[in-house]
Amino acid sequence: MEETNIAELTAIELKNGDKVPTFEEYLEEGKKQNVTRLVLELKPSKTGRGEQLAQKCYDLIRKHKSQAWMLYISFDYDICKKIVALDPHAKVAYLNGDKSPAQLKADGIWGFDYNWKMIDKDMSIFQQARQNNVTVNIWTVNDPAQMETYLKAGADFLTTDEPEIALEKSKSNDNVGDDVPFFSFKGKVTANPYGIYLSTILFLTFFYIPKTLF
């Protein structure tokens, strides 16, 4: 994708008949509602332009006044730090699993978003996160028993393909408050009797930087 002209990308027809949207179209569509946050995953660039990508995307977010809708995630730590430098209040979560909560706090990173296999290696990371005021998200948790374990341990977010099950688990868990959201990749919006502000996410992945973005 990084070597593909944006005109070619936006001409691609998806299975449902839609065209691949631009980032600006995504932002404007997301702003039509106020119950679902927008997640922007900024992928590492094979040509070393990750921080440029972060700058360009943030410029568009400011242009469309979409800051309040946005959550940012990336496997590239320099991209995470770039977003924080642009907006110290941005909700940025690191994906790669190789930074401690203390390191994230020191760099102004809002939270971590680690695979459950990384979490299971050292469950003390929940306590470390609380001590450093860093949020905890875990992906991708589809097993009900795992959901219960992580919610009881104090997970702030769960990325799941099964939001209905996660919601049921949250109702029966005394450690879960009224504002614990779930990230869903099934595209199902789940009714929420507890006022959870997020049950599914509009999710955009920027894999690379199309040539004409610049």
Q: Crossing angle of helices 77-86/50-63, nearest 10°?
A: 30
Q: Quick check: 133 pLDDT over 60?
A: yes
Q: pLDDT value at position 214?
A: 39
Residue-wise pLDDT for 25-82, tens only, equals 999 999 998 888 889 999 999 889 999 999 999 999 999 999 999 999 999 999 999 9
CA distance 74 to 77: 7
How sure is the predictor about 183, in pLDDT bands with cuts at 50, 70 and 90? low
Pairing of strands 92-94, 182-184: unpaired
Contacts of 201 (CB under 8 A, 6+ apart): 36, 37, 38, 39, 71, 183, 184
Choice between 49 and 189, residue whose per-residue pLDDT is larger? 49
- Which tokens belong to 41? 């995953």
Residue-wise pLDDT for 80-112, tens only, equals 999 999 999 999 999 999 999 999 999 999 999
CA distance 151 to 164: 15
